[in-house]
Amino acid sequence: MATREELSEFLAGVERRAFKQAVFAVRDESHALDIVQDAMMKIAEKYGDRPAAELPLLFTRILQNVIHDFFRRSKVRSTWVTLFSALTPADDPDADPLETLDASGDARSESTEATYEREQVVAIIEAEVAKLPARQREAFLLRYWEDLDTAETAAAMGCSEGSVKTHCSRATHALAKALRERGVTL
Amino acid sequence: MNQDEFSFRVRQALNEGAEQLDYRTVVRLEQARARALARQRRAGPATVRLPALQLATAGAPPANLGSGAWGWLRGAGLVAPVVALAIGFVAISQWQEELEIQRLAALDFAVLLDEGPLDAYADRGFGELLLAERPANR
């Protein structure tokens, strides 16, 4: 059984990634925080007595379920949100962080400039990950960010291993193409 | 760059992004974690199952029901609720059977006197009901 310390350590280790995944999915930080909190409550209340080794996969599945529940509850609203965010012009600083680059940054030190550029690259990657189709993004993040194997990813997503491989491959190619078009080299 | 290398670099970037969360978000995540930990399910004491109708004296030494007439009355007091329950079940069963007989009798009269609605004869379920009754009447 997971002790309180083990559960606390586990949640502290996954909460930021969980939050980011929720943000990618629902595109709203406030809702994403609610989703992560909901997932944390569920794993603590219902599975708090499970062994610590079982927690990662359980939490992954709970988080995906809570995200799906969120979409089910607010289907109409999310449809509009998705529509508007898809139509958001590129001058949105969140959608295109490169445009926030300040041309008058000559006074900055080189290291500061490098850090800033890296932050912009990270922001672009996050924005492009968020633009992936939901299932592709889910598969890509579970497989490559959460480090689940194909079978675990398939179990968490409720689909076949073949589908996971297809989703991951498509996501990788779409992401690489989008980053290349935006001039980002990894 | 192959898929694994590409995904590894994306992963690094995503990790960096997760580390750059603003202070307000980090605090809210910590609060959410604290709330969840406060409600952590703990393994409770082992559940011991007891028969639902076990007497309150179970586990105790055999009760001394006394002697003579009083002892007999106490014994009867323990058995009486069970007997009353059994009688109740039988009575309800009889009552339900009586109601069913009355309902079928009313139906038979209605058919014999042609008082049933015409729609009833067109209803397939009604025909099935009459057929189902036939063996019982023979």
Tens digit of each residue's pLDDT (9 = 90 or more) over B101-135: 998 888 888 878 877 777 777 787 877 777 776 65
Give the confidence band of A110 by pLDDT, cuts at 50, 70, 90: low
Same domain? For A119 and A129 the reply is yes
Which of A87, A115, A142 lies at the terminal end of a domain, its last residue?
Answer: A87
Same domain? For A120 and A156 the reply is yes
The structural domain count of chain A equals 2
Question: What is the value of ipTM here, to two decimals?
Answer: 0.72
pLDDT in tens, A21-77: 999 888 888 999 999 999 999 999 888 888 888 888 899 999 999 998 988 887 766
Same domain? For A183 and A97 the reply is yes
Same domain? For A65 and A141 the reply is no
Give the confidence band of B27 by pLDDT, cuts at 50, 70, 90: very high
Same domain? For A172 and A137 the reply is yes
Q: Which residue would you say has higher pLDDT here, B1 or A178?
A: A178
- Most B CBs within 10 Å, among A9, A24, A36, to test the B interface: A36
Give the confidence band of B33 by pLDDT, cuts at 50, 70, 90: very high
- Most A CBs within 10 Å, among B10, B28, B42, to test the A interface: B10
Same domain? For A180 and A112 the reply is yes
CA angle A164, A171, B4 (to 5 degrees): 80
The CATH number linked to A152 is 1.10.10.10
Same domain? For A69 and A115 the reply is no
Which of A61, A87, A113 lies at the terminal end of a domain, its last residue?
Answer: A87
- C-alpha A64/C-alpha B80 separation (Å) is 57
The CATH number linked to A63 is 1.10.1740
Same domain? For A159 and A116 the reply is yes
Domain that includes residue A81, residue range: 1-87
- Alpha carbon of A38 to those of A13, A53, A115, B77: distances in Å? 17, 21, 34, 54
